[in-house]
Structure 1
Amino acid sequence: MPSRFTWLPFNSYDGKTDPIEHVSHYIQMMSLHFHNDALMCKVFPSSLGPTALRWLNGLRKRSIHSFFELIQEFGVRFMTYSRVPQPVDALLSMKMGVGKTLFIYANRYWELYNEIGRGNEKIVVSTFRMGLPEDSEL
């Protein structure tokens, strides 16, 4: 380990959440050491919970040659837990419920929007308005 390396408090991957999010979080936490492939591989197990650690320990010796290969195999093994991005048209199904506040509707809408990712801003504004009641003053 490098003399200046400080162990970080990683989220422990439980084998039931999105592996891509886990790897992204791990890379972000290790961003100062991202150039050190060996260190990235050596520290990665400390971010794994029991299920993922069993998988890692079951890999054939010397079958992984880089951090990229490690996270690729990790993603393949746990891909059934990957989050599937919502299509942009999922925003069309959003409606402000009767008796619900604009605050609640907006929170639900933007939460879904953030799951979709980048999209056409004109569509975003239009679908937001379409979900409002007709008597809305917005």
Structure 2
Amino acid sequence: MPDRFVQPPFNSYDGKTNPIEHVSHYIQMMSLHTHNDALMCKVFPSSLGPTALRWFNGLRKGSIHNFAKLIQEFGIQFVTCSWEPQSVDALLSMKIRVGETLHSYAARYWELYNEIDGGNEKIAASTFRMGLLEDSGLRESLTKKPPEDMRQLMRRIKEYKELEDD
């Protein structure tokens, strides 16, 4: 290890989440040392949880020659955990649940919206409106004056959440 090297705090990879995101996080945390291939390889196991660490420890000695190869093998091993983007259609099934607050519905909606690959903002705003109860004041407002973009939609939701909280 280089003098004065301080290992950054890593999210421990559990073998169940997206390996690409883990590698991206690892590289970001090690950004000052990406030029040092040996160090990148040496520190990588400390970012792994028990399942992934067992995989790492099972690698054949001498089979990894550089960080790129290590990451390639890591991706191959945990490929089934890769994230698949949702389509805009997934938003069509979003509905506010009986007794659910606007705050909770909006949080679920934004979580799904952020998983959409290249989502169309107008469709996304429309599907949010359709998921609200028919007698909702926010639904009526969004119908009468549809938002022009996601910022406008979020601003209107915030206004109605504040009314709901009062």
2:41 is equivalent to residue 5 of structure 1: no
The separation in 1 between residues aligned to 2:109 and 2:123, in whole angstroms, is 13
1:87 aligned residue: 87
1:76 aligned residue: 76
Supply the AA of the counterpart residue of 1:65: H
Give the aligned length. 138
2:45 is equivalent to residue 59 of structure 1: no
Bigger radius of gyration among the two: 2
Q: CA deviation digits over 1:26-63, x for unaligned, max 9?
A: 11211221222221111101111232222222222332
> How far did 1:12 drift?
2.1
2:117 is equivalent to residue 130 of structure 1: no
Which contiguous aligned blocks of 4+ residues in structure 1 show a shift greater than 4 angstroms? none
Q: Percent identity?
A: 78
Contact (CA 8 Å) 2:87, 2:117: kept in 1 or not? no
Relative contact order, higher structure (CA 8 A, sep 6+): 1
Structure 1 length normalisation: TM-score? 0.87
Give unpaired runs (5+ residues) of structure 2: 139-166
Structure 2 length normalisation: TM-score? 0.74
Contact (CA 8 Å) 2:38, 2:67: kept in 1 or not? yes
> How far did 1:117 drift?
4.7
The separation in 1 between residues aligned to 2:60 and 2:101, in whole angstroms, is 55
The separation in 1 between residues aligned to 2:35 and 2:86, in whole angstroms, is 33
1:104 aligned residue: 104
Give unpaired runs (5+ residues) of structure 1: none
